[in-house]
Structure 1
């Protein structure tokens, strides 16, 4: 099942994608796709609906972030060995964790705003995980039972804020529009194995990233279990699992960064695509 949120920013409504790819309005049954709707019972009830009988949504409707009420965004850094190497770092012995602000969330086709003074804005295509039930010190073998679904994500980063402003990665990670998610929230039964997904990203039509989640250093169950030892993951929380090689910082002979007018296009197996135009802040 693929769930969406459509409509103007701040006034999105719940939608579901039917077997033909048509977005249907399900807001008369559930008001939104947020923490309460991510419970297994509610997701099962939505999956049982004949989506083709629901009202069709205009194909021009804006798609928003596919999950509402996100409490926190927990990110894993350097989770692909090739990305660690291009950053000049050794693969970590334990997952590297940092946070993105929920205020950074935006839709899959919204403009990405390069903030004032930013000179090294970068791209990172990632697999995102949406939590459906509370996780606290959960062992790896039970971790996937707590997943409501998966999303395509772009961990947009301002490297100068991240690395040159006195420490703490969060400074370069949480700017407004730096966390585009979607287009869909895809349930685990539809996506299949999260460790067999191709990920790619283009800038102005040039392929920059082309990886696969089979190359994770720390697989999804281990990542979720690890995070749950240090903080409770609540329904609606989002976990970003790291990016493969090909980010702007790693380009040779010189790094390459985003400028107003640049267009990012990215996708992942079973998770759809994003198209994001960069604008000045």
Structure 2
């Protein structure tokens, strides 16, 4: 990973190196950091969620630690990052309190209907979509005080998604519950779709655990994403009917949903789960035999 070398390079440039740990993916991490005597700031501080310290996003100062604590911190946090999508890291000239205050301004986002919602942008499955969804001015506002942003993705790969030659000022403090960024419907849709994909994949892993374990994680994600988009394009806007459609695709490597009988059904799919499931079961047997299950294809393992 090279986090220690990265931190040293930050220090040589006169900047701080910070780790951001999503506590919702690693509950109770604040207690481990306290035991290691590692400085951190909760991004829930001053928010309504500060009563939930065990799942708070924690901004951790890697810079400024003695070598023993630095090595202990990295050796503890990396196994977490490779097991669940929970770790990103940032280079910034700001001290820990100032960077944490800046990041707290993105705790909530406004929506086009005047409502606001909590934004878990630090979930590393969402982080790259978050940066893609922001318009140029919003992105400059978010990244202004940071020279780099990197993270470990769901497949255990380290990626850098932002680099800057110079940093700008941090955003100013906001009143409680006043969002700094408002998302339009397109931006909101991108972020919702990212969350829906994970929800569907997790549901399928629960329904057919043995089968999905035989499919490579990246292959499974890409396959489910493709057929979820097809389902949504046909008007299946709920997770339950989407899962039924994707299950047919999984059991036939996609050939089943390409059958004329399924294409006809998807022209006007039943609106309820029961009716849709019954319609799928009433399809000709050749639909379910149109192709081998995805997990039986040699390249999927």
TM-score by length of 2: 0.26
**1 or 2, which has the higher helix percentage?**
2
**1 or 2, which has the higher strand percentage?**
1
Give the greater-gyration-radius structure (CA): 2
